[in-house]
Structures are given as C-alpha cells and as structure tokens.
Amino acid sequence: MLYIDANGPDWGGQEPENIPALIKRLKSEPLDPIYETMGNFIVSYQPSSWTPENKRFEGCTHFFGHFATSPYVFSIITDEKVVIDSLTSAIRMNQCRTDYERIKHNAKI
C-alpha cells in the first residue's frame, strides 16, 4: 500500500508528484533538519487515535518533511519494502550532505 498525502510544492490543489521525483529532489536539495526532532523524517505510522479510515495504515511507515531551500513538502505512508528502502536510503544520504550539515549547524539543531 502506498498513500501519497503530499509530495510537491504545495499541500493542496495539485496532484502529488511521484516517488522518483522526491528521490531526485533529495539528491539535489537539502532537507530541513528541524524534522530530526520530530522523528528524523521517518516514523512508524501512529495516529492520535485509530479510526476505521486510518486502520488501513497500521504497520506502515510514514515519511514526512520539507526542504530547507525550496517550498516542497512530502507526507508519504507505505508498507512497500522497496519504497521504504529507497526513501530511507535517499533521506539518510541527504542528511550527509555538506549543505544539510551547515544548515543544521547554523540552526543549532
């Protein structure tokens, strides 16, 4: 199961971009390090309360955050191993970028 709540420059009014578009952006722009304090971009999906609607996300991984230098947000919920592995790898590589480290250092995170 793959649910893309947001993936692009806006939360509403546009169709979300696909996973390859996010991975491409992760290779070229630094994430906003503030998300390290909110689960480090990747968490097990845990709603404030389980409902019949969100029960389908049980056991899923939630990827979320935005970029430091451009208005681009992502919120993706999935249990697909290939997607989880690809996004986890791309996010962790992004966190090793020198521009990410500089932004993190300047923000004192």
Q: For the segment 31-70, what is each residue's pLDDT rounded down to a tens digit?
A: 999 999 999 999 999 988 889 998 999 999 999 999 999 9
For range 74-89, the mean pLDDT: 98
Q: Which residues contact 76 (CB under 8 A, 6 or more apart)?
A: 2, 3, 4, 5, 7, 19, 22, 62, 63, 64, 83, 87
Contact 11, 73 (CB under 8 A): yes
For range 76-83, the mean pLDDT: 98
Count of domains observed in the chain? 1
Question: For residue 109, what pLDDT band results from cuts at 50, 70 and 90?
Answer: confident
Q: Look over the chain and give the mean of its residue pLDDT values, rounded to a whole number.
A: 93
Contact 63, 76 (CB under 8 A): yes
Q: Which domain covers residue 56, as residue numbers? A: 2-107
For range 75-104, the mean pLDDT: 97
Q: In percent, how much of the chain has pLDDT > 70?
A: 96
The C-alpha atoms of residue 6 and residue 75 are separated, in whole angstroms, by 5
